[in-house]
Amino acid sequence: MAVSRMFQILIVTFLHYFSASVQAANPTYNVLSYGAKADGKSDCAKAFESAWAAACATSSPATIYVPRGTYILGNMFFDGSDCKNDAITMQIDGTLSAPFDYNVIGNSNHWLVFERATGVSILGGTLDGLGANLWACKDSGKDCPEGATSLAFLKSNKISINGLTSKNSQKFHIIIDGCHDAKLQNIKISAPEESPNTDGIHIARSSGVSVTNSRVATGDDCVSMSPGTSNVLVQNVACGPGHGISIGSLGWVLDEAGVENVTVKSCAFSGTQNGVRIKTWARPSNGFVNNVRYEDLTMVNVKNPIIIDQNYCPNDGNCPNQSSGVKISGVTYKNIHGTSATEVGVDLECSKTEPCTGITLEGVVLKHENEEANAVCENAVQNVDGVVKPLTCLPKK
Ligand SMILES: *[C@@H]1O[C@H](CO)[C@@H](O)[C@H](O)[C@H]1NC(C)=O
Ligand SMILES: *[C@@H]1O[C@H](CO)[C@@H](O)[C@H](O)[C@H]1NC(C)=O
């Protein structure tokens, strides 16, 4: 009796969920129905545009579906300004590939753009920027296009990117610019260590951005943040090869928005040029960096595991050579372990005119060839038990 009653409940429960899931099934716009060909040859831009327009014309949650296969796309502009739908999921089981000729997208800033969109989710998929020929062109010293960022979200809100793979972008892989509330998770990014300007995820003028459970191996910063960025969480990200997780470059212009409330937690750096870095140009600016937490990080053979560089001067050429006006305060480095590839594990080179304040180092243990790595600093003060005093480290040579 009890058993059959239980069985009855199970059946009822099952039917309940079954019908609920049928009712909840979103209308699906399959790009193949709009003329896309997954043959790796045909230009599919028109089909993707039409599927986007159809999803945007409805107001209930919709899915744009991209089945397996390779789709060639030139520049794509997913315009959200007239979109009625604030719940579009682009589910990608295939690969979106840039055209073979890098010139087709190489002179535009971005390859695939979502602008003024709300509630867009990208689920799965691979983006292939086919950057190698453009990098070779740049390497040869010839006149080449600047290159396009593979995926850009501009002035958009409530964004989710989950399970996306991006490889061999011409320039940056992913940009989040002017956005609020963006969740990036399970992202895989790869490009060769020598590929120029292939930043993994770049966050600009945005707030409420998280990057979690992701892996970035590339030729420039794994994650970078530029002025006007706040409330960022980077957690559980593996970086390497690459140039580390960076705030900056900041302070190129006089009037600049600051960067605040950034947490980088439980990340691993392997063979990277930097671990966690803050970089500013040495010239006047009213920009600032405030409230940054670096916590539970592992460094393996990293050249500059912890670095603040307020005399940023890439390639030592044509730099302003003044004093940075960017005020850095409230930076905590906690529980950071591993190995430095150079003698200097901690390098805090702060501004003469705006010294770094509120720097806390706690449980930072970095080795270089089995010896404790050095800490070097300039114009930095720390808080220890409420007492402010100069950081105990070697003067800069
Ligand atoms: C700081 O950013 C986190 C996201 O990492 C957010 O949850 C928190 O509310 C922010 N704090 C403030 C004071 O805005
Ligand atoms: C930077 O400026 C200082 C003082 O103005 C000067 O002595 C130094 O040579 C300059 N360095 C470079 C690399 O221009």
Mean pLDDT value across the chain: 92
Confidence class of residue 321 from pLDDT cuts 50, 70 and 90? confident
Q: Atom 7 (ligand 1): residue with closest C-alpha? A: 231
Q: Residue 318 has what pLDDT? A: 80
Distance 262 CA to ligand 1 centre (A): 8
Residue 283 has pLDDT above 50, yes or no: yes
pLDDT, position 348: 94
When mean pLDDT is compared across 5-19, 197-211, 229-243, 276-290, the lowest value belongs to 5-19
Is the CB of 207 within 6 Å of ligand 1? no
- Predicted confidence at residue 1, as pLDDT, reads 45
Q: Is 142 exposed, middle or buried (0-12, 13-18, 19+ CB in 10 A)?
A: exposed
Mean pLDDT calculated for residue range 183-205: 98
Strand partners of residue 302 = 340
Portions of the chain given CATH number 2.160.20.10: 28-210, 221-397
Ligand 2 centre distance from Cα of residue 319 (Å): 10
What digits encode the pLDDT tens for the residues 52-102? 999 999 999 999 999 999 999 999 999 999 999 999 999 999 999 999 999
Q: Is 202 a catalytic residue?
A: no
- Spatial distance between the Cα atoms of 341 and 272, rounded to a whole number of angstroms: 9
User: Using alpha carbons only, what angle is made at residue 208 by residues 204 and 213, rounded to the nearest 5 degrees?
Assistant: 95
CATH 3.30.70.360 matches 28-210? no
Site to substitute for ligand 1 among 210, 225, 261, most atoms within 8 A of C-beta: 261
Q: Could you give the CA distance from residue 52 to residue 345 in angstroms, rounded to a whole number?
A: 49
If you search the block for the tokens 């050579």, which residue do you land on?
321
Q: What is the pLDDT of residues 331-363, one digit of tens each?
A: 999 999 999 999 999 999 999 999 999 999 999
**Measured between alpha carbons, how far is residue 192 from residues 112, 125, 186, 196 in Å?**
21, 20, 20, 9
* CATH architecture, domain defined by 221-397: 3 Solenoid (2.160)
Distance from the alpha carbon of residue 236 to the mean position of ligand 1, in angstroms = 17
Are 166 and 195 in contact, with CB atoms under 8 Å apart?
Answer: no
25-39, 211-225, 306-320: range with highest mean pLDDT: 211-225
Q: Which of 180, 243, 337, 368 is catalytic?
A: 243
Decide whether any atom of ligand 1 lies within 6 Å of the 301 Cβ.
no
For residue 235 and ligand 1, the question of a CB distance below 6 A is answered with no
